[in-house]
Amino acid sequence: MANQTPAVVMDNGTGFSKLGFAGNDSPSFVFPTAIATKGPAGGSGGSGSGRPAVANKPSYLTGGAGSGGHLNMKRGTEDLDFFIGDAAIAASQGPGYGLHYPIRHGQIENWDHMERFWSNSIFKYLRVEPEDHYFLLTEPPLNPPENRENTAEIFFESFNCAGMYIAVQAGLEFLHGNGIAHGDFQPGNMLFALNNIDSEPEDVLCQKQDVQAMSVSDTIRRLDGKQDKWAPRYLCVGQPLVRFTSYAEGFTIKLSDMGGAYFFTNPPKKPLVPLGLRAPELILGDGRNNTLDVWSFGCLIFELVTGQPLFCIPGSDFEDDDHILALTERLGPLPDELFKQWKTSSWYFTPERKLYNCQLGGVPQGEQPLLLQQTSMEDLFDQAGPEIDEEEARQVKALIRRILQYDPTKRPSPTEILEDPWMREIQERGSP
């Protein structure tokens, strides 16, 4: 069903949200990213430090009803005791409702409020069944990986959406075709192109200097109380340009942040790549080849389709060991030339290369080795249960496996990836 319905496009910014459908010339709705709930106002409405509610945890959507609870309640959004957008601002002017802004400085700070905001956006405004649509969401350039994971959990588990995706591979093909590696290929560096704003009047483009709306800071003061003649009077918060962006068919995604880019002929000694997106040769070798972006893209395909990272590697003293163990679990044994460079392999493998311990840092003295169940990439993909049919799942897993090869010379180029049957089908879906 999702293949025959237009993708839902949602751009949630600090100030405004823009909702619509791929193929339309303009968004269906543009309104403030605000929510009014019963009780006092609270700015962002909370610390935002918690994880979002998912289907097996009580939330305003599931009500503790377990899997599928949201389906029983979604058509009752008109009766919920909260408002979003302009209706939220209007409700906050009367008694009993407080106004909250779930996003500040581009980052979601209150996941409960954001989930409610998304729910009303989908069911009350767009009036769609999320299981029948793919969703295309924007994110700020510095969005941390855990925020992407939280968002995916909500859309897949609370809303049961058909899928989430973003198109960036053509930009990577252009860079590699000109002998340039991006060096930091990740969702945070993928941006929607801005429309031409040269003809827009100045009053439309001018940022409102409103401290209460958090678009500018209060007067800046030195901590020691002394006067600083050179300090600015206030700081402006970056504002979203949602009104000047189009999501119609043929929209453009641009790769940003070329600070880590390099020519293939002059690679850095140690490219800077997010931990979970590192190719194995970056961990166990000099890592200088032309396929590091390609490896990152393979990891991102898994994450964008399933809603969870293929390699979730928290920073620690043993992050390299953690990553190598995850590689062998998901993709299979390392080739001999890489395994020989793993200086701490004896903490985990016997001389015959049989896994005997999964405890990072080795087996503590006086304790027994820790063995964990091993899950391949394909099994993890199936366990995630993305809303695609069996044939498409087979195509996606085959492409990921084709990309994530230990031997860099065997990985496909960006051009070859675009020729993959699954990638061609995606391009055809997005064509007019």
- DSSP label at residue 176: H
Lowest mean pLDDT: which of 41-50, 174-183, 310-319? 41-50
CA 63 to chain centre: 26
| Residues 302, 210 share a domain | no
| Residues 199, 148 share a domain | no
Does a structural domain hold residue 69? no
Dist CA 299 CA 162 (whole Å): 20
Does a structural domain hold residue 66? no
Radius of gyration for the alpha carbons in the chain, expressed in angstroms and rounded: 24
Does a structural domain hold residue 347? yes
Containing H/E element for 9?
A: strand 8-12
Q: Which one of 244, 267, 283 terminates a domain?
A: 244
- DSSP label at residue 75: G
Q: Do you know the residue count of the chain?
A: 432
Dist CA 9 CA 229 (whole Å): 46
Bridge partners of residue 263, in order along the sequence: 180
Does residue 335 contact residue 328 with C-beta atoms inside 8 Å? no
Dist CA 379 CA 94 (whole Å): 53
Does a structural domain hold residue 51? no
Position 63 scores a pLDDT of 41
| Residues 254, 238 share a domain | no
List, in sequence order, the alpha helices (H) in 11-134: 69-73, 85-92, 111-120
Dist CA 413 CA 178 (whole Å): 13
Does a structural domain hold residue 106? yes
Does a structural domain hold residue 50? no
Dist CA 45 CA 33 (whole Å): 13
| Residues 263, 350 share a domain | yes
DSSP string, 144-174: -HHHHHHHHHIIIIIS--SEE----HHHHHH
Q: Model confidence at 167, in pLDDT bands (50, 70, 90)?
A: very low
How many CB atoms are closer than 10 A to CB 68? Answer: 10
| Residues 334, 265 share a domain | yes
Backbone φ and ψ of 425, nearest 5°: -65, -40
Position 319 scores a pLDDT of 93
Tens digits of residue pLDDT in 46-105 = 433 333 333 333 344 444 333 333 433 444 445 568 999 999 999 998 888 999 999 886
| Residues 363, 305 share a domain | yes
Question: For position 393, which CATH number holds?
Answer: 1.10.510.10
Does a structural domain hold residue 257? yes
Dist CA 190 CA 252 (whole Å): 10
Q: Find the domain containing 421 and state its range.
A: 180-193+245-430
Copy the structure tokens of residue 81: 């005791």
| Residues 275, 203 share a domain | no
Dist CA 346 CA 352 (whole Å): 10
Question: For position 13, which CATH number holds?
Answer: 3.30.420.40
Dist CA 95 CA 99 (whole Å): 11
Which residue would you say has higher pLDDT here, 4 or 85?
A: 85
| Residues 106, 11 share a domain | yes
Measured CA distances, 150 to 53, 58, 67, 133, 320 (Å): 9, 16, 17, 19, 25
Percentage of the chain with pLDDT > 90?
A: 33
| Residues 161, 283 share a domain | no
How many CB atoms are closer than 10 A to CB 360? Answer: 16
In the chain, the number of structural domains is 3
Does a structural domain hold residue 174? no
Residue holding tokens 């928290």?
314
Tens digits of residue pLDDT in 260-298 = 777 877 777 777 788 888 999 989 987 777 888 899 989
| Residues 273, 205 share a domain | no
| Residues 348, 202 share a domain | no
| Residues 239, 116 share a domain | no
Q: Model confidence at 139, in pLDDT bands (50, 70, 90)?
A: low
